[in-house]
Amino acid sequence: MISHQLAQVNIVRLLAPLDSAELADYTSSVEPLNTLADGSPGFVWRLQSDTGDATSIQAYEDPMILINLSVWEDVETLKAYTYRSDHATIMKRRREWFAKIKSVTLALWWIEAGTVPTAEQARQRLDFLDQHGPTPFAFTFKTPFDAPV
C-alpha cells in the first residue's frame, strides 16, 4: 500500500484579467488541461471550485495570482503530465499570459496518502522553498527527495 503521495503547487501572475481577450487562448485551454490531468496516470486530486477549476479560488491578496494545487502518485507521473503531454505544448505560450514572478512558483512535497493539501499549506511550502532552497519539506523537479518510509 502506498503510504505517501506527491503534492504540487504552482502559481502564476496573469498579465491581464482572466476574462480579457488577451487571455482567451489560455482560458479556453483550462478545461482541456484539467481533463487531461484528471485522466493521466498517477493523478489523484486537484484543487477546484464548483465550476471544475481553480481560477476563481483566491489564495493570495493579489487577484491576478492563480494557484494550481494537485496530488499525484509520484514525481515521475507528475513529470510525465507536465513535460510529456499536451500540457507542455500549451504551456510553451505561458509568456503570452503570465508575468514573471521573482519568487519560487513551484513546490513539491510528500503528504500521507489520502490527505488533501490546503492552499495555505501550499503557500507555506512555496515560501519555505523560496527562503531555504530544496529540502524534504519542499523541493523541485530538479532536486527531488524520496517519499518518507
Summarised one tens digit per residue, pLDDT across range 73-122 is 999 999 999 999 999 999 999 999 999 999 999 999 999 999 999 999 99
Handedness of CA 114, 85, 68, 75 (dihedral sign): positive
Q: Beta-strand (E) ranges in 15-144?
A: 43-46, 65-72, 98-99, 106-112
Q: Indicate the average pLDDT of the chain.
A: 96
- Cell numbers placing 51: 465550476
Cell of 60: 493570495
Inform me whether the pLDDT recorded for 1 exceeds 80. no
Largest CA distance in the chain: 48
Architecture of domain 4-132: 2-Layer Sandwich (3.30)
Q: What are 30's strand-pairing partners?
A: none
What is residue 2's predicted lDDT score, i.e. its pLDDT? 86
The residue extents of the domains of the chain are 4-132
Gap between the Cα atoms of 106 and 98, Å rounded: 14
DSSP-derived 3-state class of residue 133: coil
pTM of the prediction?
Answer: 0.95
Q: Position 102: which residue type?
A: K
Q: What's the full length of the chain, in residues?
A: 149
List 68's β-bridge partners, or say none.
Answer: 10
